[in-house]
Structure 1
């Protein structure tokens, strides 16, 4: 998820994490009296994901101050997600993708639950090796699709009952777009924010983001807690991302965008509604 060289930018990002987390105690107190939009669910936080700790913030700053890479996302793109996190953190944040910028996302959501999913085992090992203090909560996963199948999958999904709402993802082997074998934590937690910046989708045999986009839409629709689900989709300059966003995340739900990133707000849709379409 990274390339190039620009240390001052990285230091600024880490400093932003300090400013964001510095206000968590006050904002959390305010939400406790006025109602939080991010109700935690699922099993207790693991040690890798828990705590707005000084150690985590200190090591995040050190990480970016001593590295020579810059993020794939631009400042404007990152700022869209950061703006939402300023309002909603600490919350449940699911990220499709794992990169050297994962330390940044985890720090921005310090005190919340941030989970990263990565399909490349070699890259997963490299990033986890960088995580010397084990602050990242990440899993290596596999995807059942390839980019070259994207057109056929889109054409046929409406004729597959297992793909149409209301639908679940966990264990769903009737829908080729579903991701039925992700770690249990993915299904047990209700995610407030979902970022789709993986898996790879720039060559024919890459897994593609079809299943990730579809799953983000289903999770948002199935939300039981208060508020809507913020979904961020990167690389919308590519045909698959744009087409699947239009089909499942819906143009009417798009609220912001910058560069190659779009931001959607997915409203919950009760299973009793009987609606069998996404848009």
Structure 2
């Protein structure tokens, strides 16, 4: 998520960036019962008029959160484009928008990058948490965007172990559907067993996997993130599915582990290099007793 793409035409990027962030602000306006008859110019003029905190119990129709305003400023003055394409970003945004009609979302994002302010802005009424493999990069990003919530995470895998891991996990009982957990599961190398407590204590409505790095042999690869997302989704106790978004499915490992653990039958949308899965909790599917595969 740290790859930089520089565009020669500044005005084009500013228009796209502002459009995306304003769309996020419009979601908040819709959620707070802004009437459909309000015209666009009235909304835009009101965005900067009222600052509110995340803990404010009620919001006026003409209010934007501080992180949304910070995001608009950031992307309007930066030449760095988020890694995902506009059409890919729209997939996750549509889910967040649909969920606003019921309740704010818990959004877990594997990776901290140039698009993090955007994701947090789209979900400004909910909780967005970023997990990053590079502790120095965490400090760098939070220095400029202190309102983001991010943790450093250690990975126990290497990309060049991917084939061995997918061929051997069935021989480890703690990796199988019936016993698979994430927190403290040190026996299953695919489980991210030592993440911050907050990750395990909260149920995540959306999980974005766009990290860790997975394009050279010594990189951690996304095997553990994909496996752990699948386990957390299946062990969900609350109602509804878990939306899992996996980026870079044009790569062998991402596609292989997605088909093994996230399951083709739960794939609801594919746009560009992004796959969107809706994974039901285990109580809504066949029992895991004796199962040797996730799909």
TM range (shorter): 0.7 to 0.9
Q: Kindly provide the CA deviation profile for residues 195-218 of structure 1, in whole angstroms up to 9, marking residues without a partner as x.
A: 000000000000000000001100
2:205 aligned with 1:196: no
Report the equivalent of 1:118.
Answer: 132
SS of residue paired to 1:185: helix
How many residues in Structure 1 have an aligned counterpart in Structure 2?
257
Which of the numbers 90, 95, 114 marks the counterpart of 1:84? 95
Offset of residue 78 of structure 1: 0.3
Offset of residue 106 of structure 1: 0.5
Counting only pairs closer than 5 Å after superposition, residues 149-228 of structure 1 correspond to structure 2 as: 149-166=161-178, 167-228=180-241
Q: How much is the aligned-residue C-alpha RMSD, in angstroms?
A: 1.9
Counting only pairs closer than 5 Å after superposition, residues 29-68 of structure 1 correspond to structure 2 as: 54-68=65-79
Structure 2 residues not aligned, in runs of 5+: 8-12, 35-52
Offset of residue 19 of structure 1: 0.8
Alignment partners' CA distance in 1, 2:144 and 2:149: 13
2:226 touches 2:262 (CA, 8 Å); kept in 1?
yes
Offset of residue 130 of structure 1: 1.5
TM-score normalized with structure 1 length: 0.88
Q: Kindly provide the CA deviation profile for residues 47-86 of structure 1, in whole angstroms up to 9, marking residues without a partner as x.
A: x976685322211211111111111100110000001010
2:132 aligned with 1:130: no
2:54 touches 2:65 (CA, 8 Å); kept in 1?
no
Alignment partners' CA distance in 2, 1:157 and 1:58: 46
SS of residue paired to 2:32: helix
SS of residue paired to 2:282: coil
2:92 touches 2:245 (CA, 8 Å); kept in 1?
yes
Offset of residue 128 of structure 1: 1.1
1:94 touches 1:193 (CA, 8 Å); kept in 2?
yes
2:147 aligned with 1:106: no
Offset of residue 228 of structure 1: 0.4
